[in-house]
Amino acid sequence: KAKYESFGLTLIEAMSVGIPCVAYKTDITKYVLGEEGLFYSTKEELKDIIFKLKSDKALYEEKAKYSLERAKLFYKDHVKKLWEEILKSS
């Protein structure tokens, strides 16, 4: 049974509707969520993060706004533009 998803599509889907995401700390989740992401390595850390999000409305709203903005990096048009730039520079 896997501890985490291999790419993070579910994270991107959640971010695209403004859900603050909490993820097991891996290289891919750090890439998908970025520097402002919420990460855990232990069950205790996960519990603490969830508690903070539930009890601090300002933090929840800040992370929700960040999620919406971060998700834009993975939108089809943005990814298409990146690929076009890569192919032009080759």
Q: What is the pLDDT of residues 1-35, one digit of tens each?
A: 666 667 778 999 999 999 999 999 999 999 999 99
The pair of structure tokens assigned to 16 is 């695209």
Q: Each residue of 71-83: pLDDT tens digit?
A: 999 988 888 888 8
Q: Each residue of 50-74: pLDDT tens digit?
A: 999 999 999 999 999 999 999 999 9
Q: How is 32-86 classified by DSSP, letter by letter?
A: HH-TT-EEESSHHHHHHHHHHHHH-HHHHHHHHHHHHHHHGGGSHHHHHHHHHHH
pLDDT value at residue 75: 87
- Counted residue by residue, the chain has a size of 90
pLDDT value at residue 52: 98
What are the extents of the domains in the chain?
Answer: 9-89
